Each structure stands twice: as C-alpha cells, then as structure tokens.
Structure 1
Amino acid sequence: MEILNGHRERCYENFRMYPEVFRTLYSTLKGIRLKDSKFLTVYEQVAIFLLTLYHNQKNRAVAERFQHSTETISRHFHAVLHAVCQLGTHIIAPPDFSMILNKIRESSRFFPYFKNCVGAIYGTHIPATLPASTQLPFRGRKGYTTQNVMAVCDFDMRFTYVLAGWEGSANDSRILKECIENEAMNFPASPAGKYYLVDSGYANKPGYLASFQGHTYHFQEYRRTRQPRGREEVFNHRHLSLRNIIERCFGLLKMRNQHQPDDLFDGNDPPQSDGEDDEIVEHVPSAQLREMDQLRNTIADRIWNSL
C-alpha cells in the first residue's frame, strides 16, 4: 500500500503499471475469482504476481520479500495466473466479422479495396527459458531459445487471438495450418468472402491475403530507394500499410519491455530453424490458389487504376 499510495513511477518500476491501472486490474480480478485469504489480501496477491513476472524473481526471493512461505507464494501466484488466463478469454475475443472495420471504411487508401479484411496475422519470436533437455527445438540462429508466437489483431490495435508455446524452429505457415485444422485451438477463422492480411511467408489462400512475392514490400526498402511503382509494388505498399498495425502492437510491447534483449519481438527476421522446418511447404489446392490470386490481382488493378 505504501508503493500504491506513493510516487507513480515507483509503482511502475515495481509492478510495471501505474497505480490506477493496478487498482483496475485488482478490482477486475477480484470480480472474477480472487478473494482475500486468511493471510493475504487480493492486493498483495496481485503484487506478488506482477513482481514475479516483471523482475523474473525466484519463488524464494519473493517469499523473503513478502515474508510468507514459498508454498503460500506459489499457491497464490498460480491463483492469480488462472484468474488472468480466465480474464484473457474475455479480452482477447474475435471481432464482428459482419462489419467493415473503421480503419478501412474511413480511409480512401483502403476502402473499398480491402473492405472484406477482418484483421492481420503475425508470427514473432520471444525469448523462452527451458530445461536443457528440451532446448534444442527452441534454439534459433541467434543463439538463444525462443518460442514462436502467432497473434491476430484488428485495426484498433486489439489482439483477437494469441497462440504461444510453439518451438522457435517452427515455421509460421505450419503454426497457422495447425490452428486452422485443429478445432481445439479455437482459431477464429474468417467466414467466406472475408480474409486476414498475412505476409509472403504464408500461402495466399482463401481467408488469407498475402503480398506479391519477389516485389519490394518492407517500408525500409521504399525509404532507401524510391516510391512504389508498378501495380504489384503499389499493392504491397497498401497491404503493408494496413497489415503493419500488428507490428505496431508488438512494437508497443517491445517499448514497454526495454529491459529485454534488443531483438525481442523481431518478426522481420527469417524464420528461425534447426534446419528441418525450412523445407515445409503448405500444399493448397490449385483452384483455391487461383481464387485468391484473382482477388489479389483485382485489388491491385483497382488501386493502380485509381492513381
């Protein structure tokens, strides 16, 4: 309570959130499933949880700081963790697929070309700590272990789906394919006629509109050389301008976690691999490929003719 009622920056340095945010989280979690115990209030339970995560504290160190047994600290940490996971199912929810998103409807650069777009998909690598016996599949070319996290967001910078836990060597297309085919993963697949924006690392198939391969795509390439020219590059530039929203979401997380390695959330790198998944190619029926290629060409022609 001394920290919560003290200087705002002190609260941020300890719990990675300002007092008003901490109190909002406290009241929300208490409304879900948390309650005061005989020895610990919900305030202290949430503080233990946040302090452990932000500072990567060992159980014994937290027990010493809060003057409780390691069993008590562990039990209440997991209680808060379960409450946060339950809260996540309410916060991270699929969008309304029937609506045209405001970001698209209100911009002449994107409407009506991308009117059926419902979000963007992105895969990124996040450092992971694992036992030595299981590290090999998670070790990437940068020398440390990572997990490949796939996320979906809308254009209001809200995550609508997150899948964590895949090995750092796993290919992005393989992860998406597993999400689509495995109903247990509850992936919010887009309905017929709608699609997500994906980069060229994914297949251009129904429900997933990729950029043109072999043409300039990244912003830094345009800045170093010239403005986009030709229908494919113009399409790629508009595609990137819209899909970049999810990279901004991860960039915001990176900015909030500046104590982590500089290349955290570096999704522009080639897929990390142990030499096995690089050969994975997703096989999509040619009719489906032609359908999405035709859609992509139609959008590219309409954008090019409007210039």
Structure 2
Amino acid sequence: MSAPAVTCRSIAPDGSILTVTATVRARDGRADVKCSVPGAPEMALRMQQVVRLARHTEPRFDSRNQVVLSLDRAPVTGPAERDWELACVLADRMVRGVWQPRQPPQAPQPLVANGWSDAWHLGRVDGHGLRQVPPGVLAGGADGLPHLGALTGHPDPAAGVSSARAWFPLVSGGGDSLCWVEVSVRPAVHEGDEAEGEEASIAAPGVDAVLQARVRAVLAGARHYDGRGAGQWRTTVRFGEARFQGGSYELALVMADRMARGREFLARGRVLATGQSSGWHAGQVEAVEGVAPKCALIAREAAPGDRILLPRAWEAVLPPGWRERIVSTGASVACVDRIGII
C-alpha cells in the first residue's frame, strides 16, 4: 500500500512554480527510484541520477521500497535548467522519512527549494539560479544550504567520502583515449534486505542497466576475494565516458575501489589498468582483446610516476621494446594474474 504523497516546489527561471511529487511503495523487484517528467525522458533520467547520487550521502539505506518521483512539467528553458534538483532530493528524503522540514503546524506550506550540484554523491550543493531568494525559500550554495549535512546540523558529508580514480584504454579505431573510472566510498549501515545489500549499495548513475549490473557484480566479487570489503560501504561509481563496450575497464574499476578503501598502495602518478575476469571472487585477472592498439595508446599517454597494470596473459605478446619504452618515461609496468597489493 502506497504512503501519502509528498510535494516539494521549485521556482522556474520565468518565476512560475514547478512541483515535485513523491510517493513510496513496496519495491517488489522494481527499480529503487522511478522518475517521470511529461515529454522530457532525458530530464527524468537526470532526476533519477540526482536522487541516487544524493542517497549515497546517507549512512543507512533500505532497499525494500521504491520511490516514485514526478515533476509536473519540464521548465520552459529546456533540459539545461537544473535548479529543480534540490527539490527532488528533498522530496525523496521527506517521503522516506529521512528528513522533515520545520514548519509551523498551524499553517504548513509546501517546501520551496532551488539548488543544483555537480557532486551530489558528496552531498555538495553548488548553488542556485535565483537572482534574488524570496523569503522562506531554501536555496543551495554558500549563502544558503552548502551541503546536505546542514539539513540536520551534521558535518559536511564529503568529509566522510574517500574517492580514487584509475584509467583504462578505450580503443574505437579512431578516437582512442584513456577513460577514467572513479569510485567513491563512505561507511554504511545496511537495513532491509541483507541478501541484496552489497550489490544494492553500489550505484553507477549515468550508465545503462547492463553496465551497472556488471559494475556491481565486479565490485561485489572483488571485495569477496579481498575479505574485508563486503557490507561496509556505500559506493558510487562514475565513468568519464558513459557509453562503451567490452570489459577492458574491469581491472581499473577494481583498482580504484581498492585505493578508495585503503587496500592498495598509491602510485606517484596515475594507475592505468586493463583486464577483466570471469572470477573476481577468486581474484583472477584475465586478458582482454586489443593488445597492440591498447599498448600503443598507453605508450603515448604514459607519464612519469604512472603505474601500468596489464593481464599476465599479455606478457608474452607485448610489442618488442614496449616495456623498455614505458620504463624510459618514468612509469612502471606489471603484468598480473591476481589482484592484491600490487
């Protein structure tokens, strides 16, 4: 049975009011967050990403319920308008009982909030788009709500987040480049369905459902092998590019996660890694395709202090003189068949 609806409003650039409505119901195998905006599916996807990222500043989570969020209309200024983001985050928290605004009981009014962020997973509220903040409006930014912890008088959530990046080669035949993957973790207390707790605590907003499921499986497996990672973290994974194919990113993802959790020595420079596995739970690192183009790309991009990690299966087929060329740049190379302290 659904709970009563919660509403939160936001002031659009033309001065009109946007209304966010939130309801909660039993999840029953559905997505944790469902969002809709009439005639604007891309905006609905952004809303879903914002809410999922902001949830990762909460130390507790309950995977048993689904929150349904809707915006009554899209802003006339189009998808570039983002000042409604804070209203969605607050509506999601209010409907789940995580936070309630203080209002006079004799004359309660819907909360009005304007604010946006480029780092909701850190709890940061970067600013707002209002020329002048009307009385009673909650505005994001240094002159209003600088971070989500301030809602309840808590410290900046970013202080409890550890983040690390690793890079992997993307080879497409023409626009070859290194792509980063970033893992951010914060301590967590699981509630609700413990059986799905580990994978449910890992989010990768901005990527498709297939990649998100694989990201969750890779990290859950690697942490099982690690023996110390399971059940301890809320995890947000971000990619520099949202659309790509193949499993070349997997070793970089695992390394970024291990560095963020303090389970790996840091390189003086970047960690550049490629490799995948059908058995991350056993710590295995297996080969990926594209030895020649990926080695050529890494050789062009390697810089002093970089640590380059490749599958052990590549060791016998590396291009002649490639390792020596890498070492001459001041970077280091290791071919590995298992994760660990590398």
Fold shared, TM-score > 0.5 on shorter chain = no
Structure of greater relative contact order (alpha carbons < 8 Å, 6+ residues apart): 1
